[in-house]
Amino acid sequence: MHIFPFVVVAWIVGVGLYGLVTSRHLVHQIVCLIVVQSSTYVLLLGVGYVSGAVAPYFYDIPLHTPAVDPVVQALALTDVVVEAAVTALLLSFAIQAHKRFGTLDPQELAELKG
């Protein structure tokens, strides 16, 4: 049984989470969150893969050629859109945090009150 792609998923999640935990900069932390989220692309496409199948586009290939699952690919698109939206919002929060407290270190921000 091939599980290698799913091991890659866990690795990407782990690397991203490690970055989140040890980060000393909010922008770096946001990038780590993007890394964690990008694992879901690998997971979605890995779940829908069919050995030896083509992409689900039947423009120049005959109908009923075995193709991979298009449902998870559509979900990956949603995933990308949500990631873009979340990243934009988090970055603007980071800008406001820096304006207000003069620091982007999560450790120092946690110590501030108010």
Partner 1 sequence: MRPAVRRWVFLIAGAGFVAFYLWGLTGLPGFGNYPGPYGDIINSVAVAQTKATGVVSAINFEYRGFDTVGEEFILFVAATGVSTVLRHLRGERDRSALDEALDRNAPPTSDAIRMVTLLFTGPTVVIGWYLASHAQTSPSGGFQGGVVLATAFILIYLAGQFLVFERVSPVDVTDAVEAVGAAGFACIGLAAVGLGLAYLSNYLPLGQTPGAVDSSGTIALISFFVGVEVAASFVLIVGELLEQTLLVRQESR
The residues of the shown chain that bind partner 1, judged by CB under 8 A, are 1-7, 10, 14, 17-18, 21-22, 46-51, 55-59, 63-64, 67-74, 77-78, 80-82, 84-86, 88-89, 91-93, 95-96, 99, 107
* Residue whose structure tokens are 């964690």: 36
Q: How far is the CB of 78 from partner 1 (least distance, A)?
A: 5
d(CA 75, CA 43) in angstroms, rounded, equals: 11
Q: Which residues contact 42 (CB under 8 A, 6 or more apart)?
A: 5, 8, 9, 12
Q: How far is the CB of 109 from partner 1 (least distance, A)?
A: 14
Q: Which residue lies nearer to partner 1 by CB, 51 or 113? A: 51
Helix (H, G, I), strand (E, B) or coil at 87: helix
